């Protein structure tokens, strides 16, 4: 991701079996049924997938429509290597590169703010602001984002809502949401353009899982 959230897993290589069975015995998060969740996150085993799905259910969030579900979950898949990891693969070694600040908040002593959670939250300012919104001291306890399934999702939802991603997501404008997350790198033929194409392919697959067909708005920014 960009400097606002994080950089996602340092590698995007796959692995892991598809597993079997549903995520949570037929439960749903609005339009996201367990079978749809299984379809989208098809590279992790059933036990891990159930854990991730339960984290989503615990937040109480539901997407407004299937377009929003496809957009949000596609970005989650891309940033977490299909929910395989809740922290950057380069961590903790890459932690010091996230020690900078653009706000009045500084890093806590001996704490690292590399990407964690469903949107790979990074940087001290973001950990502080997300924590303030959620009522958790994430600046002092950044590992909560990685280790608590509900907080892993809630920090992604915090960024998603704080940066106005819901409106374009609900109208199926994936390109607009990519621009918010990582526009400087991935949009307009930037150095991460090929990375964007992988993100778009995941989005199209998520739409298939949700049975809403091809995007009506160009998903490439």
**pLDDT in the model for residue 105:** 92
Give the CATH H-level superfamily of domain 95-149: Endochitinase, domain 2 (3.30.20.10)
Other residues' Cβ atoms within 10 Å of the Cβ of residue 26:
9
Q: Which residues are catalytic?
A: 79
Determine the average pLDDT of the residues in 28-42: 97
Range scoring the smallest mean pLDDT among 21-35, 51-65, 165-179: 21-35
Range with lowest mean pLDDT among 16-20, 58-62, 75-79, 89-93:
16-20
SS (H, E, C) 41-56: CCCCCHHHHHHHHHHH
- What is the pTM assigned to this prediction? 0.89
Which residue, 78, 174, 173, is CA-closest to 118? 78
Instruction: Name which CATH class applies to 29-86+164-210.
Output: mainly alpha
Domain regions of the chain by residue span: 29-86+164-210, 95-149
The whole-angstrom separation of Cα 187 and Cα 195 is: 10
Same fold, 29-86+164-210 and 95-149: no
Per-residue pLDDT at 164:
97
Percentage with pLDDT > 90 across the chain: 83
Token output for 27: 């439960």
Q: Using alpha carbons, select from 107, 87, 106, 108 the residue that is nearest to residue 6.
A: 87
Work out the number of other CB atoms within 10 angstroms of the CB of residue 93: 12
């Amino acid at each position: 991701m960009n400097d606002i959230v994080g950089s996602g897993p340092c590698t995007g290589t796959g692995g892991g079996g598809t597993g079997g069975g549903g995520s949570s015995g037929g439960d749903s998060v609005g339009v996201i049924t367990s079978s749809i969740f299984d379809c989208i996150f098809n590279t992790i085993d059933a036990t891990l997938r159930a854990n991730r799905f339960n984290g989503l259910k615990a937040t109480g969030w539901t997407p407004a429509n299937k377009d929003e579900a496809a957009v949000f979950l596609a970005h989650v898949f891309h940033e977490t290597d299909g929910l395989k990891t809740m922290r950057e693969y380069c961590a903790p070694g890459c932690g010091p590169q996230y020690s900078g600040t653009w706000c009045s908040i500084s890093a806590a002593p001996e704490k690292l703010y590399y990407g964690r959670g469903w949107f790979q939250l990074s940087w001290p300012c973001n950990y502080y602001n997300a924590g303030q919104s959620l009522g958790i001291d994430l600046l002092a306890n950044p590992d909560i984002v990685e280790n608590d399934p509900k907080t892993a999702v809630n920090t992604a939802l915090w960024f998603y809502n704080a940066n106005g991603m819901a409106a374009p997501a609900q109208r199926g404008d994936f390109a607009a949401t990519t621009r918010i997350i990582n526009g400087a790198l991935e949009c307009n033929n930037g150095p991460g353009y090929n990375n964007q194409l992988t993100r778009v392919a995941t989005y199209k697959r998520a739409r298939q899982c949700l049975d809403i067909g091809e995007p009506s708005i160009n998903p490439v920014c």
